Amino acid sequence: MSALLSLQNVQAYYGSAHILHGLSLEVKAGERVGLIGRNGVGKTTVVNTLLGLAQLKGGQIELGGQPLPRPRPYHAAQRGVVVVPQGRRIVANLSVEENLQLGAAVGRKGPWTVPEIYRLFPILRERAHTPGTALSGGQQQMLAVGRALMANPSLILLDEPTEGLAPVIVDQLADIFNRVADQGTALLLIEQNMSLVARVAQRYLALAKGAVVAQGPVENSRAGLERLEAHVMV
């Protein structure tokens, strides 16, 4: 089975700043992968390289087994890979439902529709005509996930989805991510909250200085959580 997302020996830059140093990773259909590491090790740059926001100067990216030599923001979504970005990036002058409809603009067919998103997130149905930026932080994160699902992706990249959220909201999101994955969507969870990674991911990749330095299965146990936390401290 070919990977939905494959990065092989990727070298990525912002201007003259070399951020990713020979990074290799892959996510296969239906997988739940945690990408962990301290701030500044290159986790978000993985996303930005895929979107063409960081410069790919070496190595290779493949989506669905097809090379992506010159990444652009729209290429990933066209091939079934969508991003829930750090900071959510809800469009301020659009309602909740209009923000959801943006996700469908790529035109991919599949099971996720506005009614299905409302079944997953009932609060969004209640706030359907409210400006998206008027929602609470947790509700905005639900909207960002719902917008991504509207593209009917094979893989979702979740970039720090619990940043700044209360523990009770993190618990809700963990349940939602597992429900989405149970329906067949692969997840790449980029996170510093190791409790969330332990509850959602099947395996982890630990980054340090722009490269994968450790990887293995995730155990949702105290010992497994301590192992993940140790890798983040590298």
Measure the CA–CA gap between 116 and 120, rounded to whole angstroms: 6
| Sheet-wide strand order for 211-217 | 81-84, 155-159, 186-190, 32-36, 203-208, 211-217
Cα(83)–Cα(47) distance, integer angstroms: 8
Query: For position 162, which CATH number holds?
Result: 3.40.50.300
How many residues in the chain? Answer: 234
pLDDT tier for residue 234 given thresholds of 50, 70 and 90: low
Structural domain boundaries, residue 122: 5-232
- What total number of domains does the chain contain? 1
Q: Residue 28's pLDDT band (boundaries 50, 70, 90)? A: very high
Model confidence at 231: pLDDT above 90? no
What is the dihedral angle through the alpha carbons of 117, 92, 190, 47, rounded to the nearest 10 degrees?
110
Please check the confidence at residue 205 and state whether its pLDDT lies above 70.
yes
DSSP string of 100-162, one letter each residue:
HHHHGGG---SS--HHHHHHH-HHHHHTTTSBGGGS-HHHHHHHHHHHHHTT--SEEEEESTT
User: In terms of pTM, does the model score above 0.85?
Assistant: yes
State the Cα torsion 54-55-58-59 to the nearest 10°.
Answer: 40
